[in-house]
């Protein structure tokens, strides 16, 4: 009776459970349950074999039949095969499995883990093997993944080192503050110099200890606004020894599941207390944000990077985050032609003024506006600025278009001719004005003007002949 090792749980009553099994059934079970099964006689010769692995079939396993088992393996695996044969022949216990390397038809190594058991009293041995190639592939992938992780970790450490160097070398005082307890997580050398402490001694302390009560209150209000709405205007506080005016700005970021503030101090005394004529960038930004006219900054791709409150009101957007990153084309123009004419003029001429169009939100029909714009191709990065001035929605353009005298004479027509004739005269005036405006907007491109007016080109040419506009002869189509 074979004694099973601790890792194997044999059948409790194999004579009863497996009684009467046909040899074909047993052979099928062995072949199915293993990748490779060898029947070996008492001389160590393979008398029969079965395999269920295509990889083994391609490597010439079928040709091992009739060969000695030790002759099919590499030199370093021969002692393992001989030990398995001895242990199986002793029939005392199930021998432990061992990995051996076969020599494939192409000369490459085929790793197989075998367990050998005796078959009956004729000295035959059954060696059941498991192909280790899938495990080898997994090990190679694991090793490659570990190497990739180590390279990425090294790269991240290098990036962290560069940014930490820049963080410490920048001349502007910068604090990283934990949003939950207002304690300084990290500070650069400039911040330590401003607050009168070594940057390492600032870590773990609250900035309240190093600033006046008024400055602390102003900064805490700033941080509260940033946390509530995501952004806030710069503020001016007094700090340092001797005290000087500093502009303080803050932004919010998340790291390792915690919320932090990045608080930046920049010198602002020359703009507010020095009596000079310079205006600080923060004041310019406040002016633009408070302007009654809409103001938008876009990139070269016409995607919105900044928009003030007046523009948000024109497009019915609740916050700047709703429009940031969106194409300006979504909000401007009566159609694609309108927007294409605007952007082409801005890029071609560098600037444009009093461009008449509409600004529309997602929920309304649009607002009549005049746009002035400038393109800054040499900016870092290139950008464009647009100013939107809302005008009365009177239906008639009031920009550089001389209204015909017939409009002034409309009152004189009342009572002299039927209403339908007065309406026809009024319609002609409006049509003429609209066509003239479309031609001006498109730089006399009649195909684009027709598309803007919703007319076919033939219909537009007919109206131009009718009103004597554009120098069309009777033969032009």
pLDDT for 236 equals 87
pLDDT at 92 over 60: no
Last residue of a domain, one of 243, 277, 311: 277
Position 27 in a domain: yes
Lowest mean pLDDT, pick from 100-104, 419-423, 440-444:
419-423
Percent of the chain at pLDDT exceeding 70: 80
Neighbouring C-alpha atoms within 13 Å toward the C-beta of 376: 11
Contact partners, residue 10, CB within 8 Å, separation at least 6: 2, 4
Last residue of a domain, one of 131, 158, 184: 131
pLDDT for 132 equals 85
Residue 18 sits in the same domain as residue 90: yes
Phi, psi (rounded to 5 degrees) for 258: -115, 150
Last residue of a domain, one of 248, 277, 306: 277
Position 410 in a domain: yes
Position 56 in a domain: yes
Q: Residue 469: which CATH number? A: 1.10.10
Give Cα 469 distance to the centre of its chain. Answer: 52
At how many degrees (to 10) do helices 446-453 and 419-441 cross? 130
Residue 66 sits in the same domain as residue 83: yes
Residue 35 sits in the same domain as residue 108: yes
Q: How far apart are CA 379 and CA 373, in angstroms?
A: 15
Position 8 in a domain: no
Position 150 in a domain: no
pLDDT for 10 equals 63
Position 257 in a domain: yes
Cα-Cα end-to-end distance for the chain: 107
pLDDT tens digits for 152-196?
A: 888 888 888 888 888 888 888 888 988 888 888 888 888 888 887
Residue 253 sits in the same domain as residue 191: yes
Residue 249 sits in the same domain as residue 267: yes
The domain tally of the chain equals 4
User: What number is the average pLDDT over the span 213-224?
Assistant: 88
Confidence of residue 390 (pLDDT cuts 50, 70, 90): confident
Residue 421 sits in the same domain as residue 463: yes
* Closest CA relative to residue 215, chosen from 190, 181, 194, 245: 245
Residue 407 sits in the same domain as residue 383: no
pLDDT for 117 equals 85
Residue 183 sits in the same domain as residue 269: yes
Tokens 């046909």 sit on residue: 22
Q: How far apart are CA 455 and CA 76, in angstroms?
A: 89
Q: Residue 380: which CATH number? A: 3.30.450.20
pLDDT for 411 equals 58
pLDDT tens digits for 259-269?
A: 889 999 987 64
Query: In whole numbers, what is the pLDDT of the chain averaged over residues?
Result: 79
Residue 174 sits in the same domain as residue 112: no
User: What number is the average pLDDT over the span 314-343?
Assistant: 84
Residue 360 sits in the same domain as residue 380: yes
Confidence of residue 472 (pLDDT cuts 50, 70, 90): low
pLDDT at 415 over 70: no
Q: pTM value?
A: 0.37
Give Cα 220 distance to the centre of its chain. Answer: 32
For residue 375, what are the domain limits? 291-393
Tokens 């940057």 sit on residue: 199
Give the other-Cβ count within 10 Å of 457's Cβ. Answer: 13
Residue 253 sits in the same domain as residue 333: no
Residue 343 sits in the same domain as residue 428: no
Position 207 in a domain: yes
Contact partners, residue 151, CB within 8 Å, separation at least 6: none
Position 217 in a domain: yes
Beta strands in 268-395 (DSSP E): 294-299, 304-307, 351-359, 367-376, 383-390
> How, if at all, do strands 294-299 and 304-307 pair?
antiparallel
User: What number is the average pLDDT over the span 413-432?
Assistant: 68
């Amino acid at each position: 009776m074979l004694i099973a090792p601790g890792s194997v749980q044999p059948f409790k009553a194999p004579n009863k459970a497996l009684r009467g099994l046909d040899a074909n059934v047993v052979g099928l079970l062995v072949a199915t349950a293993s990748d490779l099964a060898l029947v070996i006689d008492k001389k160590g010769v393979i008398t029969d074999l079965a395999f269920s692995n295509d990889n083994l079939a391609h490597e010439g396993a079928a040709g091992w039949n009739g060969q000695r088992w030790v002759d099919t393996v590499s030199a370093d695996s021969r002692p393992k095969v001989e030990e398995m044969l001895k242990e199986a022949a002793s029939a005392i216990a199930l021998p432990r499995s061992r990995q051996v390397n076969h020599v494939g038809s192409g000369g490459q190594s085929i790793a197989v883990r075998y367990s050998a058991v005796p078959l009956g009293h004729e000295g035959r041995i059954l060696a059941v093997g498991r192909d280790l190639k899938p495990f080898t592939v997994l090990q190679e992938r694991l090793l490659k993944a570990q190497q990739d992780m180590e390279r990425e970790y090294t790269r991240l450490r290098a990036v962290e080192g560069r940014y930490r160097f820049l963080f410490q070398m920048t001349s502007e005082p910068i604090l990283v503050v934990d949003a939950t307890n207002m304690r300084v997580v990290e500070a650069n050398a400039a911040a330590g110099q401003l607050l009168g402490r070594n940057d390492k001694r600032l870590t773990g302390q609250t900035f309240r200890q190093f600033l006046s009560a008024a400055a602390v209150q102003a900064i805490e209000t700033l941080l509260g606004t940033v946390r509530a709405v995501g952004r806030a205007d710069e503020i001016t506080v007094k700090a340092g020894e001797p005290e000087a005016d500093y502009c303080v700005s803050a932004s919010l970021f998340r790291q390792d599941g915690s919320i932090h503030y990045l608080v930046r101090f920049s010198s602002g005394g020359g703009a507010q207390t020095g009596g000079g004529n310079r205006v600080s960038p923060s004041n310019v930004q406040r002016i633009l944000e408070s302007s009654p006219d809409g103001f938008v900054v876009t990139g070269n791709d016409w995607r919105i990077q900044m928009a003030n409150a007046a523009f948000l009101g024109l497009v019915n957007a609740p916050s700047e985050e709703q429009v940031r990153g969106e194409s300006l084309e979504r909000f401007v123009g009566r159609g694609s032609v309108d927007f294409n004419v605007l952007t082409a003029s801005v890029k071609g001429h560098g600037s444009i003024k009093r461009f008449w169009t509409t600004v529309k939100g997602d929920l309304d029909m649009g607002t009549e506006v005049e746009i002035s714009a400038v393109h800054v191709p040499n900016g870092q990065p290139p950008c464009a600025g647009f100013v939107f001035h809302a005008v009365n929605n009177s239906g008639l353009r009031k920009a550089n278009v001389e209204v015909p005298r017939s409009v002034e004479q409309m009152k004189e027509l009342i009572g002299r001719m039927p209403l339908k004739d007065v309406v026809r005269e009024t319609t002609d005036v409006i049509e003429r004005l609209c066509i003239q405006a479309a031609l001006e907007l498109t730089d006399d491109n009649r195909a684009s003007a027709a598309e803007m007016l919703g007319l076919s080109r033939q219909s537009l040419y007919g109206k131009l002949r009718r009103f004597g506009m554009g120098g069309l002869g009777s033969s032009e189509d």
